[in-house]
Structures are given as structure tokens and as C-alpha cells.
Amino acid sequence: MDLRAVRTFVAVADTGQFQEASAVLGITQQAVSKRIAALEKELGVRLFTRTARGARPTIDGQAFLPHARELLLAEERAAASVRPGRRALRVDVVGARLGPAGLLRDFHRAHPETALDVVTLFDADTAVAAVRAGTIDATFRAVGTRLPEGLRAARVFDEPVQLLTGPRHPLAGARSVTPARLVGHRIWMPGLVPGTEWAAYYAALAAEFGLTIDSVGPDFGSEALLDTVADSASLATLVAEGIRLVWPQGHDLRRIPLVDPTPVYPHSLVWDAANSHPGLAALRAHLAERPLARPSSRAWTPAWAVRGAFPARRP
């Protein structure tokens, strides 16, 4: 349907005059008449009755009017969704409860005028492809490979990894644990999906320190994992320091820092250098002002993350 004709119909209905509508729209009265005639032909009905005082919508015109207004409103919303400065900044995070989501919450508090659309895509390859295609503006991911031409990355957050145990686990009473002390203990992480960047991270961690990380078994979500770890004297799991976890008081779960070295998950912001969204510029500036937090002990991250990521604060 020709939206110019629909807009002309609404203008005539609102002004009650073809001549007044032409003045509002900045076109000739003849153009107004032609547009209305074309719309009437398309719909197969008469939309106006001409009177001495001007033009009055017919019964069909009255029925069509509210829908015509909705069409014009939909057109405006569609245009606003991609208009620079109006479209929400679309950013991907690994998970809504992980550290990068917290970075976005901080950014939103500092820049409430920037509308945000936060999404969670499957893995780094999918997210990077979405940035390249323009379906998202940026993603927080661990960058393990060189990015396609035109994309940029900056290391913005090193998130420490912690041990999570139940009260009967042999390491439950420790104030901190070295990765070497985890050798021989079964670490259960059923949420690891082969081929993802987080699975690659924990595979590198296990290989570096000789750990046993078991991803066998169905992933029924975090609540089921917490229930199992709380009841077990032998199972433990690894969690990001910033992840928001809630469990029943009776679980008495223990979050134990890993030190000497502290494994950190390297989050980078990935974006397209050609993306001119003002919200993206504000997000990058906000992250650049925030110091890249470092753990108190020396840190460890996979060699591929160090090689793959671009230098932090790259312009």
C-alpha cells in the first residue's frame, strides 16, 4: 500500500478540505486528488463524499481511518528503529548474570538517555558474525581468533574464576585455593558446549593445570547444578566471580577464590569500526574510563586469548 496515499487520506480527513491537505503536505491539490483516487481504486471503495464545505469520510472512509493512522505510526516506528541516535544500542553478552551484563548496567546508570537492547547469542562465532552483519552493534566475548576486516576489539574486563563447593567438600573450609590443589578433584560443568569460546577456555585451563573438568550429563540449569554441588562431598564447579547466584540457605555453598595464579576470563568488546551509532561511542568511552581490573595475585588466561585479542583501549 502506498503510504504517501495513506498519509494524504489522513490529511484530508483531518482538515476536511483537499486544498487544506495540499497545503499541509506541500503538494498540489491535483496531486492530492490523484493519490486519493489511486487509494480508492486499490481498496475498491469510495473514501470521501464531496460537499459544499469540503470532503467528508464515507462509512468506508471512517472505518479505514484508524487503520490508516496505525499504518503511519508503524512507518514512524520502523524509521525510528534505524534512525541514528534513535535506535536502541544492541549489545550481546554471554549471559545476563555474568560480568559484562554488569558493565552494561553500570553504563545504563551513567547514560540513561541511551536505549539498550541486550541480547544473548550462542557463541563468539555467532556474535562476531552478527556484528559484521550489523544485526548487533557490539558483543562482549573472549576473542580467540583474528577478527574479520573492519572489526575491532578491546580487552575490557578480566573476570576471575572461583571454585564453588558444598559444605562437605574437602576444600570447603579453604579461604583460597591454588589451581594446583584442584588436581584430582572432580569439577563438574555440564553447561560446557563443545565449540564455544567458554568450552575452549576451560579446556585450556584443565590442560594447563592438569585438572579434571567433567561436562558429561544433561544441563538442567544453574539451580539443578547448585543443588547437586550442595549435596555432594566430591563434586565442585567453577563459576565467574561476578555471576549472580542465589541458593537456599540450607545449601551452605562456598565460593572460594583461586590464587597463584588466578584464572581470569578475558572479556573483550567487539564492534565494527564503521558503526556510527552514538551509543556505541558512548559505551566505548565509558569502558575506556573504567580501569581494567586485575586480580590481587598473578593472573592466568589462555595463550590464544592473549594472541587473539587486540590491545586494550584500541581506538
Query: How confident is the model over 109-126, as pLDDT tens digits?
Result: 999 989 898 888 888 889
What homologous superfamily does CATH list for 89-148+267-308?
Periplasmic binding protein-like II (3.40.190.10)
- pTM for this prediction: 0.68
Q: How many Å separate Cα 133 from the centre of its chain? A: 15
* Span 173-205, pLDDT tens digits: 999 999 999 999 999 999 888 888 889 999 999
Where are the chain's structural domains?
3-80, 89-148+267-308, 158-263
What is the tens place of the pLDDT at every residue in 263-313? 999 999 999 999 989 999 999 999 988 766 666 668 999 988 755 443 333
Flag the least confident range among 8-17, 130-139, 286-295: 286-295
Fold (CATH) for 3-80: Arc Repressor Mutant, subunit A (1.10.10)
pLDDT tens for each residue of 211-255: 999 998 888 888 889 999 999 999 999 999 988 888 888 899 999
Cβ pair 148, 132 in contact under 8 A: yes
Between strands 48-51 and 54-57, the pairing is antiparallel
